[in-house]
Structure 1
Amino acid sequence: MKKQIIDFILYLKVERHYAHNTQQAYERDLNQLLGFLKTQRIASWSALNTEILSMFIMQLRHNNMSARSIRRYMSSIKGLLTYLVNQGQLENNCAIQLRTPKIGQTLPGILHYDQLLQMLKTRKTSRFENRDVAIIEVIYSCGLRVSELVGLNVADVDITQGFLRVVGKASKTRHTPLGESAQKAVVKHLQTHNSTALFVNKNGDRIGVRSIQNMIKKRALEAGIKINVYPHMLRHAAATHFLQSSHDLRSTQEFLGHASIKSTQVYTHLDFLELSKVYDKCHPRAKKT
């Protein structure tokens, strides 16, 4: 059974081009399932049934696992069993009959434009000041995921044309406009830069996700911003402001590199929240509290 998991993860890597983090998550999920099946004396995937899988999902619930995480486990399991069916190693996928738990829609935190400007105005004497400013500018200008940012190389930047080459989820490449402010920040950063990677740490190695998270959080606090600011919040801000200006959901989808328009639709809710705040504050017939 372990071999089939290894083969499946290799399939996700080679054939489906899944991101490395997704491969690792699927492998962890399936190995945990495998451990559970051993306690149930299940020695082959063909011996698996919906009842056993339901017991596994119930155990996850009892461990206070979130509905979102349980959905990922179910996706991992369904993916593996579908793969085995397609390989002729299994007759049917018993996981298809499982009900996927619903998750409440969690709207992203909102970072206002004036707060972003305050983060950029907070100048420090650190030798990484130009790098940090460029990081914030690029994430916001291009609406990047932090994983996309750390993967950028100097060769991905086209200052002449004002574009950035980005490798997103499932290794899909897109070209996104790089705003003038971000261009200037990157040029200034590159004046003292001699690495292949666009952004590096103090050791000269490609900067990591955690380092960027810590930098942005610290910078926001120093700017007097009371909310917890994280890299993905800059992406949310970019998407919200882009949608508010363009009123074009499809263009926003392309801008963010979303595979499905459903992932982009959350920003229509953010736009509505902003509209509601303005209405409550300014409209003469709004309810005043």
Structure 2
Amino acid sequence: MLNSTMVTEFLLTRFSDVWERRALHTMLFLLTYLATLMGNLLIVTVTTLDHSLHTPMYFFLRNLSVLDMCYISVIIPKACVIFLLDSRVISIAGCAAQVFFVIFLVYTELLFLSIMAHDRYVAICQPLQYPMIMNYQVCVQMTLVAVLSGVVYSRFHTGNTFQLSFCQSNMVHQFCCDISPLLNLSCSDTLSNEISVFISAVVTLVGSFAIITRSYVHIFSTVLKFPMRREQGKAFSTCVPHILVVTAFVSSIAAIYMKPTSHSPTIHDMITSVFYSIVPPLLNPMIYSLRNKQIKEAVRRITRRKLCSGK
């Protein structure tokens, strides 16, 4: 950061400068934020209070919900401020913090989604060995590895980015700070940064997607052997929406981090960012709660207990 002497702050970009559209964007982002917080908080509360949901699957789901609440909280409040108010300024320290947390949360979410897919693979394809393979100690260890590796990964890329000199324009062509638009602003040689971002993105995305795809291929091949059509339909109705969200998440990240750095950013880059920063945290609770019979039954049990205790 000592090299960034000529730029002391950055300016984030809105989708539009027209006041009516800015107000509409603010309202949409706030409604999305509230819906995401409520959905994920419901999952955290239910999976914590109901002892029948103290299983590896819901342990990881609870962690994913906490991660999603943190993820969307890093992005949307600041975005709403720049949409609604005249100020679009973010300090260099604030920008660095946002970059760190966005990368950390994206990377860790990818690992959690991979772990959850593997958990379902073991539960469906190796049910007799499931309690031994996915015991509580293993679940905690996998979670700690995901979080700590996310910290290292994010620290590396954030440090590399903010060692560069920023002495040209300070206009970040995104509604939040991210590596790609920041590399456009640097007057240093960014080739090594672009290579490291590309290679790490390829390894992370391809590795995670391969684990998820392998898990679901085995799950589907096992499910197709079920004798009852109803059981097959139930499994497919749960898995297919999850696959679609994961595919949108991975492909939008790839579109941002695996393409060459462009010095002519467009509105499409900002729209693409929405698909990996806002859509997955919003849809995950819908997939895992509204379509999950166990969670809906747990909500009823908790509600009845609260009503009875209130009387």
Q: Same fold (TM over 0.5)?
A: no
Quickly name the TM-score band, shorter chain normalised. under 0.3
Over alpha carbons, which structure has the higher Rg?
1
Flag the structure with higher helix content: 2
